[in-house]
Structure formats: C-alpha cells, structure tokens
Structure 1
C-alpha cells in the first residue's frame, strides 16, 4: 500500500506526476478549489475583523470525503500551483481535510521528473503570508461586489436588467474600454497629402521614394507637383548604417496572450486553457508568471539545442531582468521543459501554441540579427525638400532564423533592398503621386492590447487577466465583434509625362476585426460608478491595491488592516449612493421633433437601443423606432436622430421582381430579404437600409443557384405548433415550437414534404425521451446525456463537451469529473 498521498488541483496534472513517482506515492486531484465564500450572503463578518466564512462547494463534498479517506495513515504532500492561488488551495485543503499544521507543501514550476523529485527533497510548510494575500483579494472583491451590485440594481433601470454587477477590477476594465470609445467619438479626422515618387534606375529597376512629411492641403500638394514638372532629381547622399536587432525576452503570461492573439488569433481565455493543458502534460513551465528569467539549466539546454540545430554562431546566452517592480515571486518565464522537443500537444491548437512558446524561448538565447540599412536622399532642383528612399539587407539572420515578434501596428511594412545607387546620380522620374490620407483615431482594444494596458497600469495579475475580460463580456458591458468599414472619397493627384491629372477614388476605413466595444449598458454602469465611486474606478488606486496585496504576501502588512482602511471610506460612498439619484444616462434627450413638436429621447430597452418620440405623460402615446444594434445612445446626435426618423423604415419594400414584392427587414438573426415567401440572409454587418433592388435580386439569384437555397422557410403546422426549416452553424434543422431536431445528411431540407418533416419530428421526440446515456449512483450531480448537438456531460448546472473518439457509454465518473475540470 502507498505510504504517501500527493494532492494536486487537476486530474491531468495528477496523471503526469504519478508517472514520475514510485509505488510509495499515490496522486489525487481536488478538481480545483474545494472551499469558497458562500453563494448566498456575503460570508464576511465585518464586526469580527472581516472574518470570512468558508463552505465546501456542494459539488466537492464527495471529493473532500474521498480525500479524507485516502489521507488516513498516509503522509500528505500538498502540491498545488506555485502562486498565491495555489497556496490558498493548499491551505483550504489542510483546513477541510483536518491535516496537521506542519503538513508538507511542495512547489515546482514545471512537471518533469527532475523538478518533482527536487520538490519532494525540499518540502516546506504552507506560506500563510501568500494565503493571506489571496484571501485579502477574495474578501475585498466580495465586499465590493456584494455592496455595489445592489446599488446598481436600484439605481440603473437599463432595460430592467437584474444581472448587473460591479467588481474592483472588472469595472476598471470596462472604464478603459469606455474611455477609448469616447476618445474615438471625439476624434476629428483631418486630411493631408502623402507624396510618393517612382524613379527608373538601371536594369529596369524602380526606386520608390517619399517626402518624409505630409503636405497639409490640396493646394500645397498641387504646388509641389507643379514645381516638380521641370525638376531634376539626383542622389544627394547615401548613408549605409550597419545595425543589429535583438530578440524579445521569453514569454510572460501577458506577452504570451498578446502574441497568441496577434499570430494565432486566439482569445486570452483560449490561450490560457491551451497553456494549462501543455503545463499539466509536462511540456511547458507554469503559465502564470510575471518573470522573463530563465534558469541556468534552461539557458544551457537552449544553447545546446541551438548549436545542434543552427550552429554555434547562432547562439548567445542572455539573462533577462523583469522590469515590472510589482512582479510577484522570482519565477521563470514560460518555456518548454525540454528544448529538444520541437513539437508537442494533443491537438492542432496546442501544437501551434507550443511552437510559439518554443520559438520565442529559443530565439531569446540566439545571436542578434545583423542588418545593413541604406538611406538615400534625393534632391529636387526646384524645391528645398528632399525625398527619402530606404531599404535594408540582412547580413546575418541570427534569431530571425527562428522568430520575429509580432506588432499591433496595422501598417508595419518590411523594407526591401535598394538597387545600386551612386551619389550625384541623376534619376528619371516615372511618376509622382500626391494621395489624400486621413488621420486615424486611437485603435479600439483587442483582448491582447487590453491585457497590455492593464499590465501597464499595474491592474490585476497574470491569473486575473483572462477571467476579468471574460466577465465583462459575459455581463454584456463589452462586446467582442467584427464591424464593417465605411467608404469615403479620396483625391489622388498624379504627375506623369509632364502632366498632372486628378482622380477621385474610394477607400474603406473603420473596419474592425475582433475588437472590444462598450455597450450602452456598459457606458451607463461605468458613468454611474465613475460619478459615485471615483476612487474604486481610479487606475492608480486600483494599482496601489495590487501593491498592498504584494506587501501582505511579503508579510509587511496585516490583511485585516488593509481591508479596514479600504472599507471605512467605501462604506460611506455606498450609503451616499443609496440615497442619491438614479443614473440619468439611460435616457438621453436629443431635442424636439419638428414635425410633431414632441421631444425625442434615445433610450435603452430590453431589446436594445431605440428612439422615443413623445413622453408617457402626453395624451397621445409615444412612438418608438428601433436603432441599429451597437448604436451608442450617449453619442447619438439630434441630427442623426432626425435622419433616422425621416429616413426609410423597416420593413422596406424595394419593388417587384417577376410579379413578387421584394422586402428587406431585420430579424433576431440579422438582416434579410423576403421574396416570394422565402428568406435570404444578408451578409453579416450589411445595413438593410442601404440595400438596393439590384443587390436584393443578385442575392436571391445567388442563393437560389447555390446549395444554401432559401432557408429558413416556413412549413405548415404539425400537431398545432409552427414548423420552420432552417440552417444553423451545425447544419440544417427543424424547429417545431420551441424544440429543434437535426435533419440527417441524407435528406434535402429544400425538398422535404410535410410527411417527412412529421416523421423526423416524431423520431426526434423518441430520441429526446431517452436522452440520458449514463448516470452514476455515487454522484447524482453527474450525468452523460445525448443532446441536440450530440453527447455531453452534465455536472451540476454545467455542460461539458465530450472529445471526439471518446465513447460516452464507457465514461467513468472519474473521467467525467476530469473532463469537467480540464
């Protein structure tokens, strides 16, 4: 029988570690946190020095009982993650399992045989300072959320939303997004003219050069081109600059999230989930870290791998120091546990993330790239300015052989090599263009750039970035989405063969991909909190609190004192807000409708933003006009409202086609065209009010000739309930009342008759009646079910997807819980 019990958080981690320990050790999982503050009630006794009351989570009672049995007559080793949260989990396990105070605590930053054995050789006891730092964060966040959220419920009636919440970090995060949106709203774009010239040089090559500074007006651009009609162009100087480029440090949590977003298009949460799997399978070091440091062993291993793969000249060992003073424990950066393993992971995305981590870590220990940069200045005989052409050639690749860091700049271009040039050389101009360019507003945040901003402000820590962003999106304070751009005219002046010609072209601007936008609800809640709880949403105040947590972790400050100092002023603010006025920004008065003489209001309702013409107290009832999804009422102007009221309304009839009317409208699934009883979806983001008859006819023809046909389509009723045949992300389906049934691939949804539809509904009802695949008498919270999209695991109120290749009938209870914690 095993004499030692090792407890970790996850089954995957347990499985990996058990493979490294001998028969004297058994490794079990707690499946994450086992205790927390209660779901109902605050769970904090303010009068007793903020004493918390912890409860074992209902879904962990069985786990705790099993661990208690396993712990009897065994030496217990607590091996949770090596950070504050992991320390707190170990402490909760000690308390819940009734373990002795000197229970052994082991820590490691990578799951390898060497690291595990070293940890077993050097155990310690639980660090209560780290526990208290985590406890302080949890208690403070509960105090803020528990006392602020009811204030929001009473003071903000935005569409009768009852799931409003506030949080110490989440509310500051929303503020960052809101303030950036207001910067964009207030930005006034101005146009300038960019001058670019092409010159013919020897051997048919073309040299492109530009004026370093844009010209402010069209008149200045025309004058410049006119002056160049008779000008002589010649190389006035050539400067060759040898330079070097150094690699970026290995990944921290924040930089991994940013780079995975840029290069792999992963969300912050997706990156952390994949990194967690790689860590638990022993492939990478711990993925929550502020440090850019690599151990001496890792540096030596990287050097050996570089020499083998690329040659000694590509190797250069480096030590990176973490710049952030608030960085927590002196841990390593994220790196592979074995540099000789060049590919790892169970699926494509795990492999892609591992590849990114491997390349970044290896590149950090490689030689600088040697680059030769050439700058040519071109004199103009008729003007004092000079044109500039630049190019570069890589003389030695160095780390660039493996990795180039990504950038958030949208128009970053790599410069090519210049053709052979000589000082004094005269150039023949092929053409010169003056192109109108508009200044761009600040960029909206992506998940990655928001993480970068939070890190710069010192708000949150590596473990908080992903859940914070997920929370503000889940609460619908912020949305992450793509938005189409708009078109505008730009002027282009071209000097060619002594003649200047003008042309008007169009460019698309303002298109957004995976950007974060505040919602009306987010703006309303933010403005109310800023007005009434300015210190809670103050960036420096929030960052200073992180520094306070650091001091608690170092044993310098009592957590009770820190909470007490905060709560004194906070409680006064809560009481003042409770007695104050409700939020006013949910109703925005724009002006008076000139046609009816009634007031126009922009408001937010349960189904989104809308215009209200008239007041509830008027004799005649107010009228309402829905606004487009995403319209921010705080920035809607009176003129824009009048344009909406006077413009075309939905549904909008575009005319007849082959005897049938074409109607464009917008439904819950987006804009569509209705023609001859059939629906044709418009492209995502397409404005239905701008659709022409020609566009609608082309859409109808394209859809009728393609495989999509004209879904969704209405069918006659079945058993008293309406039937719709549609097509979703998982294929064609039948909607009968409120129930959905998949249409088999063998059936054509466009040609099915009523009898076939009835047959499929009946078959679907039989399947639904027997949807439980497996139950577990020892844990009635866990079931294996067959749902609309296939088998899944239900754990309490959570649904967990079953991976491909896993037979649902053969799943054990332990495997279900393991999948649920992954």
Structure 2
C-alpha cells in the first residue's frame, strides 16, 4: 500500500480513481505551519524561521502520521510551485520522512501525467524552498518593522507590505496624475469623398457600387511638431475642411497579418475573466482551482504564455474537425524577463472537450481558457489593405491627407474568436468602415464635404483590478499566485475603493504612500522588482537565502533610522486641546479617538470612518442650572451601562447638579446635586 499526500482535498477523488486500490490519497489542506502569530519569528544573524504548527496543522499531522504507519511507501504531491515545495518540506519534516522524501509534481490531473510523475519521483527542491522562505521572511520583516512605526505615526492600525505597498503606490500615483492633468483642445479635419467601388479590386464586390469614403488630415508632421502634436488654430482648420480639390499622391494595396493572442497565463486569465466575464481576480482563482482539481485544466499558477509541443498535434486534430486553419508550426510567445516559466500556459487537459465545469462560471472560464489556447495555434487573420495619400494647399501651405481601409480576407483564428474581429478594424470618424476606391497618382478629387473634428486630450485611465494586475506583472512585482491576494488585501484594508470596477485610493492610502516614500525603498517598483529577481536567483541556485535576507534587512534598518517618528514628528491627527497625537482606540461599543497624552489630557473624539469626528455636543434643554446658572445639557449613552440624564455644563468646574430625563426634558422636580441619574 502507498500513500500520496497532496494539498487540496478537491483532488483526492480524481487521483484515487487514477491511482487505483493500492493507493491512499490524503490532503494537507495547504500550509500546516507558519511563522508565529504574535511575534516576528525570525532573528539575525542566521534568520532561521521559527516555524510552528497551526492548530489545524497539528490535527492534520496527527491524521497523516496514522496513515503513514499503515503504508509501505509515501509520496508528496503538493502543488508544483514555491508554496507547494515549502509545504512538501514541512510535511517531510513533521512526518520524519527525511531529506530524501519522494516528491512528485503534476502539471495536470490526468492518467498520463500522474502515471509519469509517480514513475519518476524526485527529491524536494530546496532552492525553491529557500526562495519561498526568503519571500515569507522579507514580508514578515517589512510588516513587523515598518507597520508599527506607520501605525504610531498615523494614530491607527496601518499595514505596510513589501508587495502590497507598491501596488497601493501605483493607484495613488495614477490618481495624482489624473488630478494634475490639464486637457489640451486641438483640431483635426476629415474630408469625405464619393467614389466608385470597382469590381476585382482588393475590396471585390459582386457588382460596381458607389460608396463614400474619408481621409484624415495628417497634422503631424505637416503643421504640428512631434513634440507638440496638437494643432490648435481652429480658423486654419476650417479652411482645411473647406478645400474644394486635392491631388492623389499615391495609392497602394497591401496585406496585413494579425496574429492571435497567446494562451492564458495566470495574470492574463485574471485580466480576461475580469473584462469578458466580469469576475473578480480572487473569484477567478477559486474557479480555476476547482477546474484544476476536477482534472479539466492544467496547473493555473504560471507566468508562461506557451503551450507544450506535445499539445500541438491534439490542437491540429480539433482544428481539422472544425475546418480551422492551423499555424504552420508551434507558435512561441515572448515571456517577460521576470517570468519563471516553470509550468506551461493554462490549457484544457482534453482538447476535444468543449464544455467542462459544474457551474456557469466554471463553464465560462473553461471556454475562455480553451478557446484562447486553441486560437493561439491557428492561422493569422489576413486583411487586404489600401492606403492613399492626398495633398492640397491652404493659404500657401501644403496639407496632406491619408485614407486607409481594409477588409478581412482570411479569418484564421478569428473563426474561433469572432467577438474579437472588430478590435483591429480601421474605423474612421463616424464609426463607419472606409472602402477606398482604386485611385491613380495625379488624379484630382473633389471632396463632397469636410468637417473640423474638435478633440481634446484625456487624462490617464484609473486602474481596474485587471489593469493593475497587468501593471504589476509588467513591472515585475509579485508573482502569479500573489496577484489575487494583493487585490483582496488592499481592498479589505480600505486602502482602495472600487467604484464601477475602477480603483480609487482612500485618504489612508495617500497617507501611507507619502510616509513610506520619505524613507523606504520597498515602496518603489524598481526596488521591489530587484527583490523579485533576487528571489528568482535563490530558486535557481544563483543566490543564497541568508545573503538576500540579510542585505534587505540591513537596508530596511538604515532607512528606518532616517524616519522621524519621535516627538518632533507632526502627528497625523493632532489633539484639538493639546496638540499631541490622537490615537484610535477600541471600545466596548466601537472605536473612538483619545489623546496620546492621557491622563494629562483626556480629550476624546468619536470615530468617523477611521478619522477623529467632531466633538459631540449634548442637546441644550433651554434651562439654566439652578445651582450655577450654566446650561443644562442632555447626556446619553446606549448599551447595558447606558444612561440618559441632564447635567450641568459646569461639571468640569465642580458643579455636579443633574436631573433625570422625562420625555426629552429635564425633570427639574428631581434635583440630584452631586450625583448622576441613571434612568432605566
């Protein structure tokens, strides 16, 4: 009897069916141990992580030990990434399997892939374990060293993260770019022509037809330099639009090839699912996990946009059955410099299965994955093109116009992804296709009309979760397995607000980014990219865990020393009575704000969405205190220890006169000098 230990319980039934009766399959349910909850768990000079079993981990290890005693061989088949490798090492250590524990990795849960992996087990890759440890420890150092300082400065619990903070900084930077943007108004011109569409041209028709077409004024470089490509003289643009004749300088026919998109890697899947299926990145990863566990798709955490060469013949068979044109050979797509490319792109495990999954979301995501993977190996879409250059004169100055048109000749991969056919079509002002007739150089044309097109430059678009993930990937920040959790964390901590799918930084986000930027390198995308590259070097054996962690920790401490967090630092929320910092304090009925100089200063303020609110002013009864003449104020508090009475506004000056509340007014007949009336 043999035992296979995997991560997810969702895979056990499928693997048990593949392996047969001589096997048992058990799940660790993810990580069984981690750094301790309430202490940093790692100290110089060795930076050895102090792992502890979680409460759930102790229960799981107890169950697994019992199963290990009843089998002859034990295999560890956790996920084939850094996290999975770390889990495999923890399992081997806690189950006392030794450093030579049998390690197997599956890129898909199919009979063939699983059988090949079981037949050729390897050892645990300790370079990958070291890379995962370094990431975890660096995240812990940043969190435990910087977050308390940031919280002290901000007067409330704030979080700094090695990857989280740069993501927030990108959103803040974009919002500031939008706020600082000044729109430039400028002008273009469109000339319209009536032309005869001839038979047997590149835009072949069954018969000769008459149709209109357009040409646009090529402002750059004629009258606007490249460094300032905006023409702002409306009067001159009106003259250009009034031209009564132009000359054809040239007219050329050609072809344009449009290649398909690559298959989906993790970030691409999250982006495509967000745009096409309106799925949140975290939901996308959960759905993909279920598809993987059910054996429908290959491993879904990858930054490689290429499929295996072994899959090409299977795609050919699907294409032949559907009469789709294949690419002449396997397409290879460029990977980013930071990509690990440890696993192929996400693909179906059975190419001929057109639908898979139990829910509508699972089926939709499966279709998206399958269609993108198949389309990536189909033939190019080919367009017939025609480009004409026209010229004229306005007020003694030469002006040129360009007319462009194209027509899809061979759909290629667009036969499968027809919804993307219009993405690259030449569409001119007014939204109509532009069917140019066959023109001859030197031919004189008379426009049938012209229009000045008023334009204005637009501010950069706010990030959506999908576009922020794309930016993080381009900048080399984070890795496929981390993108969804980054988005979830910064939203859960209220550092961003999501409105109509766009990300807005909160006031807290501005504060965090501004404070961190004063001292710390990790908030800068370039530094974070370098750290990610260093982690990759650890994974490949080109760098060591200790040297990497020590260098980052030393830099963190140097930067921390430059930050003013002492008495001279200006508090984020100064006390309105003494100027000291206000602190957000948890109370029995929620948070409130109190002065950090307490008991010397006892000023308090209610919490208003994470900020000190205005001081609550009790309602005036309109009656004067009979003891000292100051107003009587209504004082209330809800809850089990609540009260509702009217007391003298001179309480702090020594007047303790109070009256019970009666129908919203002080009951002056029940004077209680020196005490409180608790009405229940």
Q: Same fold (TM over 0.5)?
A: yes
Once the two structures are TM-superposed, the CA of residue 281 in structure 1 deviates from its matched residue by 1.0
Residue 393 of structure 1: which of 407, 410, 419 is its match? 407
Is the counterpart of residue 361 in structure 1 residue 373 in structure 2? yes
Checking the alignment, whether the CA contact within 8 Å between 1:307 and 1:315 is kept in structure 2 is no
Tell me which residue corresponds to 1:480. Answer: 498
* Partner Cα distance (1:585, 1:258) in 2: 40
Tell me which residue corresponds to 2:659. Answer: none
Once the two structures are TM-superposed, the CA of residue 261 in structure 1 deviates from its matched residue by 2.2
Once the two structures are TM-superposed, the CA of residue 420 in structure 1 deviates from its matched residue by 3.1
Residue 183 of structure 2: which of 162, 182, 189 is its match? 189
Written as runs of structure 1 = structure 2, the 5 A alignment for 1:257-268 is 257-268=270-281
Once the two structures are TM-superposed, the CA of residue 103 in structure 1 deviates from its matched residue by 2.0
Q: Secondary structure at the match of 1:205?
A: strand
Tell me which residue corresponds to 1:255. Answer: 268
Tell me which residue corresponds to 1:469. Answer: 487
Aligned Cα root-mean-square deviation (Å): 3.2
Written as runs of structure 1 = structure 2, the 5 A alignment for 1:337-736 is 337-380=349-392, 382=394, 384-403=398-417, 413=427, 416=433, 418-423=435-440, 427=445, 429-482=447-500, 514-533=501-520, 535-577=521-563, 579-580=565-566, 586=572
Q: Secondary structure at the match of 2:433?
A: coil
Residue 201 of structure 1: which of 165, 182, 195 is its match? 195
Written as runs of structure 1 = structure 2, the 5 A alignment for 1:755-794 is none
Provide Cα deviations, 1:50-80, integer angstroms capped at 9, x if missing partner.
1222122223332222111111131211111
* Partner Cα distance (1:388, 1:541) in 2: 45
CA shift in 2, pair 1:31/1:438, >3 Å: same
Tell me which residue corresponds to 1:166. Answer: 160
Once the two structures are TM-superposed, the CA of residue 234 in structure 1 deviates from its matched residue by 5.3
Checking the alignment, whether the CA contact within 8 Å between 1:38 and 1:55 is kept in structure 2 is yes
Q: Secondary structure at the match of 1:256?
A: helix
Checking the alignment, whether the CA contact within 8 Å between 1:259 and 1:406 is kept in structure 2 is no
* Partner Cα distance (1:583, 1:18) in 2: 62
Q: Secondary structure at the match of 1:441?
A: coil
CA shift in 2, pair 1:219/1:37, >3 Å: closer
Provide Cα deviations, 1:506-550, integer angstroms capped at 9, x if missing partner.
xxxxxxxx11111110010110001021x2222222111112111
Residue 94 of structure 2: which of 89, 93, 96 is its match? 96
Once the two structures are TM-superposed, the CA of residue 137 in structure 1 deviates from its matched residue by 0.8
Checking the alignment, whether the CA contact within 8 Å between 1:520 and 1:604 is kept in structure 2 is no
* Partner Cα distance (1:559, 1:373) in 2: 56
Residue 307 of structure 1: which of 320, 323, 326 is its match? 320
Show structure 1 runs of 4+ deviating over 6 A: 214-219, 404-407, 409-412, 603-606
Equivalent pairs counted in the alignment come to 558
Q: Secondary structure at the match of 1:373?
A: strand
Higher relative contact order at CA 8 Å, sep ≥6: structure 1 or structure 2?
A: 2
* Partner Cα distance (1:431, 1:585) in 2: 65
* Partner Cα distance (2:469, 2:176) in 1: 19
Tell me which residue corresponds to 2:627. Answer: none
* Partner Cα distance (2:497, 2:37) in 1: 27
Structure 1: tracts of 5 or more residues without a match: 483-513, 589-602, 607-623, 632-822
* Partner Cα distance (2:79, 2:322) in 1: 33
Q: Secondary structure at the match of 1:536?
A: helix
Tell me which residue corresponds to 1:270. Answer: 283
Once the two structures are TM-superposed, the CA of residue 445 in structure 1 deviates from its matched residue by 1.3
Once the two structures are TM-superposed, the CA of residue 194 in structure 1 deviates from its matched residue by 2.5
CA shift in 2, pair 1:585/1:523, >3 Å: farther
Residue 27 of structure 1: which of 25, 28, 47 is its match? 25
Tell me which residue corresponds to 1:324. Answer: 336
**Higher gyration radius (CA):** 2
Checking the alignment, whether the CA contact within 8 Å between 1:236 and 1:379 is kept in structure 2 is yes
- After superposing the two structures, state which structure 1 stretch, 193-202 or 178-187, moved more: 193-202
- After superposing the two structures, state which structure 1 stretch, 362-371 or 92-101, moved more: 92-101
CA shift in 2, pair 1:227/1:358, >3 Å: closer
Q: Secondary structure at the match of 2:408?
A: strand
Residue 65 of structure 2: which of 62, 68, 72 is its match? 68
Residue 178 of structure 1: which of 148, 172, 180 is its match? 172
Checking the alignment, whether the CA contact within 8 Å between 2:247 and 2:444 is kept in structure 1 is yes
Provide Cα deviations, 1:673-728, integer angstroms capped at 9, x if missing partner.
xxxxxxxxxxxxxxxxxxxxxxxxxxxxxxxxxxxxxxxxxxxxxxxxxxxxxxxx
* Partner Cα distance (1:465, 1:138) in 2: 15
Once the two structures are TM-superposed, the CA of residue 30 in structure 1 deviates from its matched residue by 1.3
Tell me which residue corresponds to 2:630. Answer: none
CA shift in 2, pair 1:579/1:224, >3 Å: closer
CA shift in 2, pair 1:413/1:521, >3 Å: farther
Once the two structures are TM-superposed, the CA of residue 43 in structure 1 deviates from its matched residue by 1.6
* Partner Cα distance (1:315, 1:63) in 2: 49
Residue 118 of structure 1: which of 105, 113, 116 is its match? 116
Checking the alignment, whether the CA contact within 8 Å between 1:231 and 1:380 is kept in structure 2 is no
CA shift in 2, pair 1:579/1:429, >3 Å: closer
Checking the alignment, whether the CA contact within 8 Å between 1:250 and 1:361 is kept in structure 2 is yes
Q: Secondary structure at the match of 1:250?
A: coil
Is the counterpart of residue 280 in structure 1 residue 293 in structure 2? yes
Q: TM-score, normalised by structure 1?
A: 0.63
CA shift in 2, pair 1:583/1:192, >3 Å: farther
Checking the alignment, whether the CA contact within 8 Å between 1:519 and 1:630 is kept in structure 2 is no
CA shift in 2, pair 1:412/1:376, >3 Å: closer
* Partner Cα distance (1:110, 1:568) in 2: 42
* Partner Cα distance (2:376, 2:14) in 1: 28
* Partner Cα distance (1:401, 1:194) in 2: 36
CA shift in 2, pair 1:373/1:585, >3 Å: farther
* Partner Cα distance (2:475, 2:7) in 1: 31
CA shift in 2, pair 1:99/1:246, >3 Å: same
* Partner Cα distance (2:6, 2:543) in 1: 29
Checking the alignment, whether the CA contact within 8 Å between 1:391 and 1:416 is kept in structure 2 is yes
Once the two structures are TM-superposed, the CA of residue 571 in structure 1 deviates from its matched residue by 2.1
Structure 2: tracts of 5 or more residues without a match: 197-208, 225-229, 575-581, 586-604, 612-680
* Partner Cα distance (1:371, 1:410) in 2: 10
